Structures are given as C-alpha cells and as structure tokens.
Amino acid sequence: MKKNSGVDLWERAQKVIPGGNMLLSKRSEQFLPGAWPSYFKKASGCHVWDLDGNKYTDVSIMGIGTNILGYGHPEVDEVVRNVVNDGNMSTFNCPEEVYLAEKLVEMHPWADMVKFARSGGEANSIAIRIARAASGKDNVAMCGYHGWHDWYLAANLGNSEGLDGHLLPGLPTSGVPRGLQSTIFPFSYNNIDELELLVRTKNIGIIKMEVSRSEGPQNGFLEKVRALATKNNVVLIFDECTSGFRETFGGLHKKYGVEPDLAVFGKAIGNGYALTAVIGKQEVMEYAQASFISSTFWTERIGPAAACRFLGWPIATGGTVRDHIGLGKFFSPLDACSYHSVLPIPGCACCWDGRTWQSQAQLRPTVGKPQADGSDQRCSGSDRGSAWVDHDCMGPRHRCYVLATLFPWAR
C-alpha cells in the first residue's frame, strides 16, 4: 500500500473541526473509515489525486454533484481566472448576476425573477422565506432533502423520524427552536392522498419538494401536486439543487412539463464554483422585498461568472450537457461511466432511466475492504450500501477496475 497521509490529517481535523469537515457527505466515515484518503491536492476531469499523489477515478458523486462537466473544466476555469485577474469583489455589483438572471429566466419562461445565494441550503431558506411571505402562512408540506436550516430540521422536532425516507434519516435537532414544531409536515413522494390530507388539515401555505430523486413521478403525481397547489393558493417550490441540469438543460420539471411557482438551483450550475439560485414568478418573488434577505458574499463574482459560462457552453457548442458527457468529449468512455452518479449514460441499461439521482445511500462506495472476489463488505448497521459495486453496467471487469483505481492498495 502506498502512503496515505490523508488518514493522519483526518485525525488532526477531528481535534480542530467538529465532525472533521463542513459536509456530512464528505466525511471519511461515510466511505472507508481509517483508510479513506479524505483530502485531494489535485482534481481534473473525473480523476482525483490524494495528498501523496495517488491517482483515483472518482466513481462516487463528483464533488457531491457539483462538477457535472468534470473537475477543472478548461472553459469554465478560464472564465474564473479572468475574474481573478480583473477582481472578484468590489463595492459595485458584478454584471454577471444580471446576465445570469436573464439567462435563467429565458430558460424557464414561467419564471420572471431571480435571487442568488452560494449554498443550496440557504437558497432553499430564501425560497421558504419568500413563499411564507407570499402565502401569508407558515406551514410547509415537504418531501425530499433541502439542507440544514431550521425550517427543514423542524420536521424532526417531536418526532426524530420525521425526515426518515427523505434521504438523510435521523438528523439531530439540538439548537433548532422547539417553537418550530408543527410548522413542517413531510409527505411521501408519489402519495397524493397524503399530501391532499395535509393541505386540507394543516393550514399549508407551501409545498416544497424535489421534482424526483430515487423514483420518477407516477399516475400524474406532479400534475396533481400542481393542481392541488393552485386550487388551494399554496406556493409550490421545486428544489432542483440536485436534479437541475442533469437530464435537462435547466430544471428537471421541464422534462415533465409541470411548472412550480419557485424553483431552487445549486450544485451543478457553477460546475464546482459556488452559486445557487431561486427563480420564480414575479407575483411571488416580489415578496422578497417584504422581508430582509441580504448577504455580502451573495454578490461575489466568481460563482455567477462560472455559471454564465456553464450555461453558455452547451448552447454554444450546439448540444446539451448530457450530449457532451455521453460523447465523451472530455472523458474516455470508461471515465464517462464514472459519471453514473451524476448523469445517466445514454444506452446504459443500469443507468437512470427517466430519473434523476439515485439516493445517496445507494451511491456510497463500500464501507469496508473489497474482497478478493470483487464483492464488497458492507458496513454493518448502516444503510449506506455499495452502489458502485452493484452498479456494474460494464460488468465485473469494470468493477475490478473501479476497485483498483479507487483503492490503490487493492492493486
């Protein structure tokens, strides 16, 4: 086995950073406790180099879904370098935020206005604030994962299993004001009866949901949600932080032809640079001015500039993001296969078929040592399985390749 300095640094991190880092999904314990390299010194395309220079193919979730065009995309990075050269901050505003807002509205004709932020959780909080102001009601019916903020974690107040079935079960709620209990009511995806009951009995002002995550809509579910929201003057918000820009150029809702009142984008839109957005209908978005929604770094220039390039790039070259990945413009076919967790690969039977992103639990690499026969050793007591071992569109040989590249010591 080659040197693995990341293990030591991860141990040092525990002493100075609670939990070791800032994102649950990048914690060493989520992958291979005691042996996960944890830190990178270089990332390019779908390859990552650890602190000791070992090279890996990222068959996990590419920066937790951010780098849909690969790490260090040359065209996006060129724009960012120009921004750094010219200055990324000033007392004036950056013009890119206007170009980007116009572009997002053009791509989603039902929307008129946009607000920007820098993380998915805060963009979701902005959307909830605006929607509460617009509806005049506090209560939210919710399905899916939407970040770490109080309004969302309140679903686990009083019932620690409130968020079970919504990507991350058992999220702890210390510090979340008890007064928020009974302001958010989870419902199951594809269960319109459950949602109708909530709207009827819980004074719901907002429906907040992912368009689709681990399963697609059935029996006209999204259309029924839209009709229910319209009939009851409920603000419908689609959280497209994860689903956006993967199967469609824009929101996944474009594929299903169902339009929300607000939509939230994050992750892929800056191809690794921080930029998130709330887009929406004017009559709802204008309520942003009835509340105080403001932050210094929501004005910095790198995120909007990278996102402008990201949005311009597929159009300029006459295809979609998916086409480019599928054609392997920047990646070899084998590399492209590593993008399973980010994009469906056209023609691949085991990739998503009309769905967005399999649940993260399914996408975790094995926790435990790969076995000699190529099978995995699952982490007992955890639902975090070994998707990449199961995810074998290219057959056992691909799995071996994956094992060898992900775990250099297994060579």
Ligand X SMILES: Cc1ncc(COP(=O)(O)O)c(C=O)c1O
Is-contact 276 120, C-beta < 8 A? yes
Contacts with ligand X, 332-371, as mask; x by CB under 6 A? ----------------------------------------
Q: What is the dihedral of CA 372, 376, 379, 380, to 10 degrees?
A: -90
Cβ proximity to ligand X: between 192 and 237 the closer is: 237
Cβ proximity to ligand X: between 4 and 276 the closer is: 276
> How many chain residues are in contact with ligand X, going by CB under 6 A?
13
Q: What is the DSSP letter of 345?
A: P
The angle that helices 192-201 and 221-231 make with each other, rounded to 10 degrees, is: 10
Cβ proximity to ligand X: between 210 and 259 the closer is: 210
Nearest approach, Cβ of residue 363 and ligand X (Å): 12
Residue nearest to ligand X (CB): 120
Contacts with ligand X, 95-134, as mask; x by CB under 6 A? ------------------------xxx--x----------
**Distance of alpha carbon 278 from alpha carbon 127, whole angstroms:** 6
Cβ proximity to ligand X: between 238 and 388 the closer is: 238
Cβ proximity to ligand X: between 51 and 127 the closer is: 127
- Tokens representing residue 99 in the block: 């170009």
Nearest approach, Cβ of residue 242 and ligand X (Å): 4
Residues 6+ apart with CB under 8 A from 401: 57, 334
Cβ proximity to ligand X: between 192 and 241 the closer is: 241
- Tokens representing residue 233 in the block: 């003057």
Nearest approach, Cβ of residue 272 and ligand X (Å): 12
Nearest approach, Cβ of residue 382 and ligand X (Å): 19
Tell how many helices (H) and how many strands (E) occur in the chain: 16, 10
Q: What is the DSSP letter of 377?
A: -
Question: Interaction with ligand X in 200-259: which residues (CB under 6 A)?
Answer: 210, 239, 241-242
**Distance of alpha carbon 73 from alpha carbon 76, whole angstroms:** 6
Cβ proximity to ligand X: between 168 and 394 the closer is: 168
Max Cα distance, the chain (Å): 62
Per rule CB under 6 A, is residue 145 in the interface with ligand X? yes
Question: Interaction with ligand X in 381-410: which residues (CB under 6 A)?
Answer: none
- Find the part of the chain contacting ligand X (CB under 6 A) among 141-149, 186-194, 222-230, 383-391: 141-149
Per rule CB under 6 A, is residue 272 in the interface with ligand X? no
Is-contact 32 38, C-beta < 8 A? no
H-run or E-run covering 55: strand 55-57
Cβ proximity to ligand X: between 120 and 370 the closer is: 120
**Distance of alpha carbon 75 from alpha carbon 99, whole angstroms:** 18
Write b or e for each residue in 316-351: b if 16 or more Cβ atoms lie within 10 A of its Cβ, otherwise e: eeebbbbebbbeeebbeeebbbbbbbbbbbeebeeb
Nearest approach, Cβ of residue 86 and ligand X (Å): 27
* The one among 37, 45, 147, 370 contacting ligand X by CB under 6 A: 147
Cβ proximity to ligand X: between 107 and 168 the closer is: 168
- Find the part of the chain contacting ligand X (CB under 6 A) among 36-44, 82-90, 142-150, 306-314: 142-150
Nearest alpha carbon to residue 50 among 31, 68, 66, 65: 31
Helix (H, G, I), strand (E, B) or coil at 397: helix
Per rule CB under 6 A, is residue 266 in the interface with ligand X? yes
Q: Which residues bind ligand X (CB under 6 A)?
A: 119-121, 124, 144-147, 210, 239, 241-242, 266
